[in-house]
Structure 1
Amino acid sequence: MTRVLLRLKLAIVLAAVALLALLLAPFQLLGLAFDWKIRRWLPRYWHKAACWLLGIHIHSHGALTVRRPLMIAANHASWTDILVLGALADVAFIAKTEVKDWPFFGLLAKLQKSVFIVREEKRRAGDQASEIGRRMADGEIVVLFPEGTTSDGNRLLEVKSSLFGAAAAALPGAPDGVVYVQPVAIAYTRVRGLPMGHYWRPIAAWPGDVELLPHLSGIVEAGAIDVDVSFGEPIAFHEGDRRKHLSMAVEKSIRRMLLGHLRGRNVD
Structure 2
Amino acid sequence: MAYLRVLARSVGFFTVTVGLYLGYLAGRGFLLLAGRDSITWRNAMVRRWAKSAAAIIRLDIEVEGMPPEPPFFMVCNHLSYLDVLPFFITTDCVFVAKSEVRSWPLLGRMAQDINVIFINRTLKRDIPRVNRLIEENISSRQGIIIFPEGTTTKGEKVKRFKSSLLQYAASRNFPVSYASITYATPGSEKSAEEWVCWWGDMTFLDHFFKMLTLPSIRAVVKFGSKKVSDNDRKVLARRLHRRVSDQFRPVVKGRQKIYE
Tell me if both proteins adopt one fold, taking TM over 0.5 as the criterion: yes
Match of 1:157 in 2: 159
Alpha-carbon distance change, 10 to 81 in structure 1, aligned in 2, over 3 angstroms: same
Alpha-carbon separation, structure 2, partners of 1:187 and 1:196: 18
**Residue 26 of structure 2 corresponds to residue 23 of structure 1:** no
Match of 2:12 in 1: 13
Are 2:131 and 2:165, in contact at CA under 8 Å, matched by a contact in 1? no
- Give how far 1:209 is off: 2.7
Give the CA RMSD over aligned residues: 2.7
Aligned residues: 252
Match of 1:216 in 2: 208
The structure where strand makes up a greater share of residues is 1
Alpha-carbon distance change, 119 to 8 in structure 1, aligned in 2, over 3 angstroms: closer
Alpha-carbon distance change, 81 to 2 in structure 1, aligned in 2, over 3 angstroms: closer
**Moved >6 Å (runs of 4+):** none
Alpha-carbon distance change, 30 to 121 in structure 1, aligned in 2, over 3 angstroms: farther
Are 2:6 and 2:213, in contact at CA under 8 Å, matched by a contact in 1? no
Match of 1:259 in 2: 249
**Residue 240 of structure 2 corresponds to residue 244 of structure 1:** no
- Aligned to 2:138, what secondary structure does the other structure show? helix
Letter in 1 for 2:16: V
Letter in 1 for 2:209: S
Letter in 1 for 2:239: A
Letter in 2 for 1:61: E
**Residue 230 of structure 2 corresponds to residue 204 of structure 1:** no
TM-score when normalising by structure 2: 0.85
Are 1:69 and 1:179, in contact at CA under 8 Å, matched by a contact in 2? no
Alpha-carbon distance change, 143 to 62 in structure 1, aligned in 2, over 3 angstroms: same
**Residue 179 of structure 2 corresponds to residue 180 of structure 1:** no
Alpha-carbon separation, structure 2, partners of 1:256 and 1:195: 26
* Residue identity (%): 26
Are 1:31 and 1:39, in contact at CA under 8 Å, matched by a contact in 2? no
Alignment of 1:1-268 (within 5 A): 1-3=1-3, 5-18=4-17, 19-30=19-30, 34-36=36-38, 37-66=40-69, 69-137=71-139, 139-168=141-170, 171=172, 178-189=173-184, 191-192=185-186, 194=187, 199-237=191-229, 241-259=231-249, 263=254
- Give how far 1:220 is off: 1.6
Are 1:28 and 1:42, in contact at CA under 8 Å, matched by a contact in 2? no
Alpha-carbon separation, structure 1, partners of 2:240 and 2:163: 10
- Give how far 1:87 is off: 1.6
